[in-house]
Structure 1
Amino acid sequence: MDNALLSDVTGVILVGGRSRRMGRDKALLSLGGAPLVARVIEAFRRVFARTVLVGDRGERFREFGVEVISDIHPGSALGGLHTGLARAGTPYVFVAACDVPWPDSRVIAHLCSLRSGYDVVVPRTDGGFEPLFAVYGTGCLPAVERMLRQGNCRIYDFYPEVRTRQVTMAELAGLAAPERTFVNVNTPSEFEHIRQREEAPMAKAISFVAKSGTGKTTLLEKVIAELKSRGYRVGAIKHDAHRFDIDHPGKDSYRLTAAGADTMLISSPEKLAVVKKHEVSPPIEELIATYFGDVDIIITEGFKKSGLPKIEVHRRERSTTLLCRGEQHDPTLLAVASDEPLELDVPVLDLNDPKQVADFVEERFLTQRS
């Protein structure tokens, strides 16, 4: 799949549940500063051209700016699936519950990429099917309608009647972690456990942003060297909006990746490198949590649209305007490293003094290092 949003698959989020075991609406539980349903909406918007909410009490969610469709047969997830299939107007839907704390857009995109020739594409973990994180085609409608008439609401009971593609965890290796990707929330104790996992300490990160040709990479080289000289463990992430290769044609590692390996790791006594293919770029927060647990500070280059705290690099001869002040007002901006004096609401650092920039990073992020 390329980076275009899917137009023949509608993202369907089920919001009709009564949350009886939770005691309050699961969809609106706040995690990481956002309601659970908003996290699912955001993941869907990375993959689908259209996302809808399905539920008989959908008016509660109009503030999220997503179309709401009332249940035709309220009271069950199967009924929500039926409504999505009947009303979406696309050959396929991807169905998810509203209480998925860590919906992974890469997994969603991969499951959708397998849809051709099937009525259902469903993950299967050691615990069984994951019917509320799966692809369904309109070919399922006759079987779903029959089950609703019979009063059988167990979704996976109709799988043997249609063309079903089971996706194993081995196929999702490197993409899905069952203990994370397919988790949902049912009880207060489950939510508390998830909240604690979400709020576990993560490595501190700051993003340096700039217009191209400003000298951002040169400054970062010197800031990283300065922080290393002070004894800190430093990680670095470079954002590249284009395709790239880290090895070269003819090398064994290149040949293995070119042959189709989804994850390729090369290791030596000094270092290792991982090449991992993905269909949708993972969020920066996920990269940090996955790969940078052993550092004190992460310096990222780019990621202008992320929610990370930022230092903008400004050079007078390159531009008279700033990215984070003027063209827009980015509340995550902490400072500007500039080669000219500026009147701003944040500190202005000397672009030509990497020690001063490192001092600022150390003071803001590292003085409380344990």
Structure 2
Amino acid sequence: MQISQVGITDNDQNNVTGVLLAGGKSRRMGQDKAAIKLAGSTMFERTLKLLQNNFKHVLIAGDRPDLARPQIPAFPDIYPGSALGGLYTGLKTATTDWIFVAPCDMPFPDERIVHLLLQYRANFDAVVPRTNQGYEPVFALYHKNCLPQMEKMLQQGQYRIYAFYQRIKIRYLDSSELPDGWQQALLNVNTPDDLARIKEKNMAPPVVSIVAKSGTGKTTLLEKLISELKQRGYRVAAVKHDAHSFSIDHEGKDSWRLTAAGADTMIITSPEKLAMVKRNPADQEPDLKDTLEKYTTDVDIVLTEGFKRNTMPKIEVHRQQRSEQLLCRGLEHDPKLLAVASDSSLDLDVPVYNINDSSGLCDLIVARFLS
């Protein structure tokens, strides 16, 4: 749909308080959702940025002094333990008649929806998105007129926010009225599986893993794909997995001596190249996704060698003489298998390319991830 391009006015900025809801316990996630990082910033920081960009008054509803900042106070929930209690705390402590609330578990909040909600607030007590998945009560707009009914319900131990909606004058914003992309904007992250799916789907840059049994020719194909992609103008990162300890330096060199002396991070820099050796804590290999988020944000695509157990899209290299059975279509059926590069004809449910057809495989990668 086409929505108004009018942004938030000075009047809106002054008369609406942005409220970041942070009173949840993150029990299903098993870790503090506010501190989870996606593409270099925490979910708390993403929501806070949206609120600060649109409202002059911002506060945190929830007992989170660790998240409070100068000019952004945190208020413990007056009635803890429910979304309705968080909304009540935000309205009660705000000095403006209106509040816009947003949670700290929404990784892609979209200010276009904020602008749209504000346009429909006249003569209503609340403006709330409503889609086929249900209501979105914690990315919505509320007036202080809601306080008496909220307080009555909370004092009676009633926490169902949908029952509260029956008691106020509310404007629902249906999916047909929301801007394109609302599905991603209204995503919530509640479980580790939710987080894994979102990280994979929104990985920037995209990642393709080249996998195979040892001695099949992974590195050879990877070399050809990198060369082909570079010729087409793409920036490429390559990540190799080593199941054992490795060294990229020579014993006796100054850089080797510094690492051997105990440096946790050792960097060599020159006009042509930069190299870094970084110790993993307690010999624990970091998660691949975290590594990519830290070190590969300046490229168009990442090609990895190995990592056959990860959940990234994969191209498997196959040689009949090495093994008749595939890794991803053998004892296990890997749903992330994208294609197979083989030296023999195979009847599979994914495309099969000649093992030397790096150009064809590159066409596939570009069409799937870079177009």
TM bucket normalised to smaller: 0.5 to 0.7
Match of 1:163 among 164, 169, 180: 169
TM-superposed CA distance for 1:104, in Å, is 0.6
Of the three residues 145, 155, 159, the one matched with 1:139 is 145
With normalisation by structure 2, the TM-score equals 0.53
Q: What is the distance in 1 between the residues matched to 2:125 and 2:301?
A: 56
Q: Secondary structure at the match of 2:205?
A: coil
1:187 is aligned, of 191, 204, 211, to: 191
> What do the CA deviations read for 1:283-319 (whole angstroms, capped 9, x no partner)?
xxxxxxxxxxxxx69xxxxxxxxxxxxxxxxxxxxxx
* TM-score using structure 1 length: 0.53
Q: Are residues 1:16 and 2:23 paired? A: yes
Instruction: Return the match for 1:100 from 103, 106, 114.
Output: 106
Matching of residues 86-235 of structure 1 within 5 Å: 86-174=92-180, 176-178=181-183, 180-201=184-205
Q: Distance in 2 between matches of 1:143 and 1:128?
A: 22
Secondary structure in structure 2 of the residue aligned to 1:51: strand
Q: Cα–Cα, structure 1 residues 368 and 108, in superposed 2: closer, same or farther, change >3 Å?
A: closer
Alpha-carbon spacing, 1:2–1:30, altered in 2? closer, same or farther (3 Å): closer
Larger Rg: 2
Q: Does 1:46 align with 2:50?
A: no
- Give the Cα–Cα distance (whole angstroms) in 2 for the partners of residues 46 and 366 of structure 1: 29
- Offset of residue 177 of structure 1: 2.3
Counterpart secondary structure, 2:26: coil
Amino acid at match of 2:52: R
Rounded to whole Å, the distance in 2 between the matches of 1:346 and 1:133 is 49
- Residue in structure 2 matched with residue 216 of structure 1 by the alignment: none
- Over 3 Å counting, the alpha-carbon distance change for 1:124 and 1:365 in structure 2 is closer
SS of alignment partner, residue 152 of structure 1: coil
How far apart, CA to CA, are the structure 2 residues paired with 1:184 and 1:45?
A: 20
- Paired position in structure 1 for 2:332: none
Contact 1:91 1:137 in 2 (8 A): yes
- Distance in 2 (CA, whole Å) between partners of 1:152 and 1:51 is 28
| Alignment partners' CA distance in 1, 2:299 and 2:47 | 31
User: Alpha-carbon deviations, 1:171-227, whole Å to 9, x = none?
Assistant: 1143x422x111111111111111112214369xxxxxxxxxxxxxxxxxxxxxxxx
Change (3 A) 1:173 1:33: closer
Are the aligned partners of 1:73 and 1:79 in contact in 2 as well (CA < 8 Å)? yes
8 Å Cα contact 1:7/1:50 also seen in 2: yes
SS at match of 1:165: strand
**Amino acid across the alignment from 1:33:** G
Alignment length, in residue pairs?
216
Misfit runs of 4+, over 6 Å: 364-369
Give the drift of 1:63.
Answer: 5.3
**Mapped partners of 2:302, 2:121: distance in 1:** 50
After alignment, is 59-68 or 44-53 more displaced? 59-68
Percent of residue pairs bearing the same amino acid type: 38
Name stretches of at least 5 consecutive residues in structure 2 with no aligned partner.
1-5, 208-229, 236-269, 273-297, 304-361, 363-371
TM superposition shift of 1:2:
4.0
Residue 78 (1) aligns with residue 74 (2): no
Counterpart position of 2:341? none
Say if 2:8 and 2:115, in contact at 8 Å, map to a contact too: no
1:98 to partner: Cα distance: 1.0
Compute the displacement of 1:231 (Å): 8.7
Distance 1:100 1:139 in 2: 26
Report the RMSD for the aligned CA atoms in angstroms: 2.8
